[in-house]
Amino acid sequence: MKEIVRLSLLVIALVLLGCKERTEQIDSGGILLEVEFSAEGIPVVVSVNAAADLGLVQIPTTNINSVVADPDAEVGSLMDIELEAVEVTYERVDSGTRVPQPYVLNLLGLIPAGGTLSYNNLPVMSRDQLLNPPLSDLLYENGGYDRETGQTMIRMNLWLRVYGRTLTGRAVESLPRPHTIEFIQ
């Protein structure tokens, strides 16, 4: 009886190790995320007073691509990516230093290996960010100028990064994709 139990455990262990090895082989080819913006309608100048009324700043069309790192690699469904979140961080490209807090948006979607998922009107900034410094300085009721630089505009790079996981659980993230926006009164 002990020998049957040992043999059964050995068979189970080999099966599990074999499955894990197979999973790692399929997923080890590497999968990457890439973010693309459609040039049509993408905001380059945003009025803080108008955007604060609307509630957010959006990118009209955002494509998130799943790229197989090795084109000769075997592609399997375990390389599909479940999206988790988009994070937007900000960097001043004028003489100022104050920036909004990062904007994080939970994002749901499944991208097949080598496929694309498109989002329309993806938010890259919330109303709260528009109503807090430094952007709130540009609101008419707050004087309409950046209190740090004295300018009536704030120029920033928005760095968008997408996070997800392959179906095997491996974390995947895109390189940050920049877009420059000039915020005005």
Provide the residue-wise pLDDT of the chain in tens; the chain has 185 residues.
545 444 444 444 434 444 333 333 334 348 899 999 887 888 999 999 998 877 789 999 999 999 998 878 788 899 999 999 999 999 999 999 999 999 999 999 999 999 999 999 999 999 999 999 999 999 999 999 999 999 999 999 999 999 999 999 999 999 999 999 999 99
116-126 vs 56-68, strand pairing mode: antiparallel
Q: Are 61 and 37 in contact (CB under 8 A)?
A: yes
Query: pTM surpassing 0.85?
Result: no
Backbone angles phi, psi at 132, to 5 degrees: -125, 155
Q: Can you list the domains of the chain with their CATH numbers?
A: 30-184 (2.60.40)
Q: What is the pLDDT of residue 112?
A: 95
**Number of separate helices (H) and strands (E) present in the chain:** 3, 10
Backbone angles phi, psi at 167, to 5 degrees: -65, -15
Rounded-to-integer distance, Cα 42 and Cα 147, Å: 28
Q: What is the pLDDT of residue 72?
A: 80
Q: What is the pLDDT of residue 74?
A: 81
Q: Are 24 and 5 in contact (CB under 8 A)?
A: no
